[in-house]
Each structure stands twice: as C-alpha cells, then as structure tokens.
Amino acid sequence: MDRITSDIFLRTFNKFPRLVTAIYNQCLKRGSFPRRWKTANIIPIAKPGQENSMEPSKYRPVSLLIIGGKVLEKLLINRINHHMYKNELLIDSQYGFILQKSTTHAAMEAKKFIEPELEKKEGCYNDQPRHQRNIQRSMVAKRLKGLER
C-alpha cells in the first residue's frame, strides 16, 4: 500500500490542482487504470458475536483501496452516470447503482407486481399440498415479459 491517506491526497490536490487533474485526465483519456491503484489490502473483520472464532467463515473481508484508485473510480462512475442520464439510457425499473433508488424501492415494485397474483390465488400457495406449492411459470414469464423495455 502507498500509505497516502485521503487527507494527504486532499492537501496535495489543494497545493497542485493542475498536476493532479492532469494525471486523472490522462488516465481517462488513455483508458488506463494504473495497476498499483488496483491493489487492495484485505483485512478480515469478525462478524458480530464471532470475535473469538478462528473459523474463516465467521469473518468478512474488508478491502482497503489506494486513494488514487478510489478517486479515479469515482470519476469514472460520475462520467458513466452523466452519459446514462443525459442520453436517457436508464429504464424506470433500474434500481441498482441509481441515486435515490434502493433495494427497498425494488422490493416495493416487486410487491406491486406479485400481490395481485396472490390475491387471484394463481401464484404461490402455502396451504396446498407440497406438489402444488409452485409458481405457475408461464404466468410469471408473461408478466416478466411485460416489464421489458
């Protein structure tokens, strides 16, 4: 790791804004992402209540990325989002990686889609024999096709 903190990066940018901007503009212009910036330091963090466990599955990996790469990634995301919004390339049912939309919005949309079918008793059954507990695939496929754009 390069040991450059966000504070050091910000101070460098404030002192040499043209130089830092030129470096990032060249990365974007050339379509290159420096190999060193792709390096991460992975630290295992114990899941809650599992602090004393030695079992690997009781930990989640946290990747500490180099600040230079994080900044370039953010620039790329901003440019891609600008292009997508400007050219109206996103559909209304797109939820992942969209500002002001979350998995909660996606779940509520799914609920609006599923509830009417459940009320018609054509969907999932919990009180039916095991062999009848299924989703009628043709009905679901038809409905999903209606969501395509």
The reported pLDDT for the residue numbered 3 is: 84
Let me know whether 69 and 16 are in one domain: yes
The reported pLDDT for the residue numbered 10 is: 96
Residue 46's domain spans which residues?
A: 6-86
Question: Is the separation of the CB atoms in 43 and 61 below 8 Å?
Answer: yes
The verdict on residue 92 lying in a domain is no
Structural domains counted in the chain: 2
Let me know whether 78 and 110 are in one domain: no
Let me know whether 57 and 127 are in one domain: no
Question: Is the separation of the CB atoms in 96 and 48 below 8 Å?
Answer: no
Q: pTM score > 0.75 for this model? A: no
The reported pLDDT for the residue numbered 109 is: 83
Let me know whether 51 and 80 are in one domain: yes
